Structure 1
Amino acid sequence: MGKKELTKQRIIDTAIKLISSHGFNATTTALIAKELGLSEAIIFKYYGDKQNLLRHIGKLAADQIFENIALIPFLKNVEAAKEYPLREFLRSIALERLEFVEQNFELIKILMVEMQYSEDLLQLAQKRVYAKAYEAAGAIQQIFAAKTGISEQRARVIFRMWLGAFLSIVIQKFLLQVEFQPGEIDAELEDVLDAIESLVELSGPADSQGGNRP
């Protein structure tokens, strides 16, 4: 990587760190330049202004994190894990996603927060992220329905319960910054899986018309 590209990457990395910590409005180009020990003019030279820098970061998040790094390998992992028993299948997905969020939280936070105020980022997320995320959730739901053998409607409802419980853990840990004790998240995931297995058992197998047997 040449000096120019290295400098541009340093600007992006520093901007991500500061925006994640302080928010977009509080992160000025002067603050980014000070953190880097560079002239503010260097940032203007490569990115024009702060809005353009934010668009670049948003595109980076959508392209590299959500699409290339997150969703494409995730779909492959889902395909590889579909032979697991139901409990192991759901556990492996939950743990893999928790690890992904932890490793990429700064970029995810920027995209999720700033797209509420930036029409450009919102459109980018709708175009590049949402369709892929919906595809991933649909693939998991289909495998879930096949593994449980219950009606499609019941499988959809129970799957969404599992997804909601998992997202609750993500929100607590990463957005609300709840401090979990060692092993507490694993224990909570196991409790959720216990509940899901109980609901599946109560639902019973689907009959040939797509309903549930009494």
Structure 2
Amino acid sequence: MEQLSDTKQRILDVSLKLFSQNGYSATSVREIARNVGVRESAIYNHFRGKDDIIETLFNIYGWGKAQRYIDKLKDDNKLLDDPKNYFKSIILDGILDIVCNEEGNKFKKVVMMEMFCTDTARNIVNKELFSKAREYLSEIFNEMMSAGVIKRCNPFTLSNQFLAPLMFINLEYLLNEKKGVNYFKKEIEAHIDFFWQTVSL
């Protein structure tokens, strides 16, 4: 991932804060510039506009983060050598970071608030979350089937079965984060155990 300049990072940080407080639609580029402490034209030196800002945030905190994690998994042979323990020892930490990441969850709140109001947020959810997430996971599950470590079934359906409870857990965290990370770690562990009992040979 590219190294961002201090000004560009500051624009993203302030935008995320304002989007999560006021909503994406209600936040103007002028307001972002004022809170960053730069002229409005300076925002356009780094971004094409507000849509570009939210798409960049999604790449950092949303599916982009998950995609980088899945790409790493696909290149790790340990995934096929001992998949159950790999899921529990390696994948668990990555999922936990996605579920319990404070900045990432600010962004998720923005998308959830806006996805029924703006085309930008709706397209992000449809394309990046539902399409790409399932596509990448399907590739991983196909590899596992070919290696003979899980039952043969529709990989797209399998991806849904793996992702849906995690989305539910993430939503619960957004609503009840006071329960603490350990509570959600146990929830994710229980999901991985149940999932693996269902699909393993």
> TM-score range, shorter-chain basis?
0.5 to 0.7
CA RMSD between the two structures: 3.6
Q: Figure out how many residues of one structure are paired with residues of the other and give that number.
A: 189
**Paired AA for residue 18 in structure 1:** L
CA pair 11-149 structure 1, distance change in 2 beyond 3 A: closer
What TM-score does the superposition give when structure 1 sets the normalisation length?
Answer: 0.65
Please point out which of 53, 57, 62 is paired with 1:57.
Answer: 53
Which structure is larger by alpha-carbon Rg, 1 or 2? 1
1:142-185 Cα offsets, whole Å, 9 max, x none, are 245445442325x7656543332222211211x32442245222
Alignment of 1:14-53 (within 5 A): 14-28=14-28, 32=32, 35-36=35-36, 38=37, 42-43=39-40, 45-47=41-43, 53=49
Measured in 2, the distance between the counterparts of 1:128 and 1:158 equals 18
Aligned to 2:91: 93
Cα offset, 1:105, TM superposition: 2.9
Measured in 2, the distance between the counterparts of 1:11 and 1:171 equals 27
Please list every run of 5 or more consecutive structure 1 residues that lacks an aligned counterpart in the other structure: 206-214
Measured in 1, the distance between the counterparts of 2:66 and 2:165 equals 21
Aligned to 1:210: none
CA contact (8 A) 2:29 2:43 kept: no
CA pair 112-61 structure 1, distance change in 2 beyond 3 A: farther
Cα offset, 1:99, TM superposition: 1.1
Q: Work out whether 1:82 is the aligned partner of 2:83.
A: no
Cα offset, 1:20, TM superposition: 1.6
What TM-score does the superposition give when structure 2 sets the normalisation length?
Answer: 0.68
CA contact (8 A) 1:70 1:100 kept: yes
Q: Work out whether 1:186 is the aligned partner of 2:185.
A: yes
